[in-house]
Amino acid sequence: MTSFNRPALPDSIRTNGATPNPWWTNAVVYQIYPRSFQDTNGDGFGDLKGITNRLDYLADLGVDVLWLSPVYKSPQDDNGYDISDYRDIDPLFGTLDDMDELLAEAHKRGIKIVMDLVVNHTSDEHAWFEASKNKDDEHADWYWWRPARPGHEPGTPGAEPNQWGSYFGGSAWEYVPERGEYYFHQFSKKQPDLNWENPAVRRAVYDMMNWWLDRGVDGFRMDVITLISKRLDPNGKLPGEAGSEIDDLPVGEEGYSNPNPFCADGPRQDEFLAEMRREVFEGRDGFMTVGEAPGITAQRNEHITDPANGELDMLFLFEHVDFDCDGVKWKPRALDLPELKRIMAGYQTAVADAGWASLFTGNHDQPRVVSRWGDDSSEENRVRSAKALGLMLHMHRGTPYVYQGEELGMTDAHFTRLDQYRDLESLNAFRQRVEEAKVQDAESMLVGLAARSRDNARTPMQWDASKYAGFTAPDAATEPWISVNPNCAEINAAGEFDDPDSVYAFYKKLIALRHDNPVVSAGSWQLIDADDEHVYAFVRELDGERLLTVVNLSGRTVDVPAESAALLDGLDAVTEDAVVIATGTAAEAVASLAKRELATWQGVVVRL
């Protein structure tokens, strides 16, 4: 088991309700998108050796866990989230020996490795799916195969088993003449959904998971794991299917109905997760599980992450990154801070007595937070807002996740043309909404893509100011798979590493604070000044120690709101010794709070 060079939380402090306290309750996780992290062979794609080569950087930052987006063998239709062999590494990233080396070298530095687990679906090039095309094969019902709608010619428009649409555009059904039936895919047509109702499917998944844990992996981040249980009628039919007792939802503006209400948090979700816990993790120590959880409420998060229920350690909930748009993600709108606070308060309150929260604002599917909710229009505001947003998130109760480059304040790509994008979801959405359904014009769709495309988070990691940002050699024969952000000359690890005022230096302080101060990782959390439109404020408390966090998430100087001001009024004076951490200097924080105001993008944590 990996040994950490940091204090453990004593068992006298309650975290998620387990005893002893899990190691991850004061840990920080760093997500790596391998194809964009570090290229060592000049082919334009990041690789496992590149991650190994950068472990000292990650150890210096202080993170405890690396979560790797998929590196399994894959046709790369959805950048590796379409897996064709769970027990091999894609040549794009290296070999199994490279993976073993990464595990060994990370563990030497006290860093755990968590792999992405994608088992709601496989690639259509997986051997299981190829075999399932034969109705007489033992794999015949490992996927969701259905006949054409009665009275329709198979393979023609309208013959699909129901009207469900894919989240990546178009129908969620694909016809296979070889079998004479359709298969269901919530995502790309090259990502057929596995049929978790079949016990043989579950056994195969658990065997694979055990194989990786035996090899030294420390846990799994589970991709869309809350979509594995589908809602069926008493006869095993899906909603909207011919003869089903469950009606489908109405068709939306793009010509399809939404499968999510029938696939998210389905009737056997708890059963499947508890079975996985027993079959894979029971009797093991030192692991961590976190599930990507579309469709899960804060209240359900409490149940699933309560250790008494034996399911998962943590979940990623998405309401806080889904609400700032007008109905669809491609119509973004400005941040409504009171609404964000309401959502985050719901997350925190739900797990106050049992269970645990995951803390994130960025990942491989989200735009860069400093461009989304901060201000990247000037270098000063970029640095200030990146620190403010980091402080806001990391002072919550739970386990924080840092997405690669977030610790540098990396920004969105600010693409302006469709040919600059590589993401399947973005390209399909443009075609579906602009060219086929004609529900959005090209100009506004390009604005939407620039603000919300997943490619914003996938441009190469900015290591230095060289031609390709240090992601690959400046003289590499092959350009990176996606364009480097031109601002790499100003924003890069080399320029921030030794700068005490950099975003990187600030993230090191945030991570160290969580390791060293139990009130940050495990103390109670109470929202104050909930309706203030500019300041995010809350109180953390543990064993008599109280911390007030106040963060100005706006581009102008504002007054400290009433409840926060009243707490400050209860102090004789705010001194530099009382400042636990601040986005600027302690002296600047004291000066601002003495006037009961916060400067542009200023954040302060004060000991009450």
The single-letter DSSP state of residue 228 is S
Q: How many CA atoms lie within 13 A of 340 on its CB side?
A: 21
| Active-site residue, from 64, 124, 223, 248 | 223
Q: Whose CA is closest to 121, among 136, 147, 142?
A: 142
CA distances in angstroms from 14 to 8, 25, 65, 286, 524, listed in the order given: 13, 10, 22, 19, 10
- Is-catalytic flag, 292? yes
Q: Which residues of 156-192 are buried (b: 16+ CB within 10 A; e: fewer)?
A: eeebbbbbbbbbbbbbbbbbbeeeebbbbbbbbbbbb
Q: Whose CA is closest to 337, among 367, 374, 366?
A: 374
Q: What is the Cα–Cα distance from 465 to 90, expressed in whole angstroms?
A: 29
Q: State both tokens at 164.
A: 């469900």
Q: State both tokens at 595.
A: 């006037």
Distance in Å from the first CA to the final CA of the chain: 38
Q: What DSSP letter does each residue of 36-53 carry, written as one string?
A: GT--SSSSSS--HHHHHH
| Active-site residue, from 254, 265, 292, 302 | 292
Q: What is the Cα–Cα distance from 408 to 488, expressed in whole angstroms?
A: 11
Q: Whose CA is closest to 290, among 569, 27, 579, 41?
A: 27
Helix, strand, coil percent values for the chain (each to nearest 5):
35, 15, 50
Indicate which residues carry an active-site annotation. 223, 292
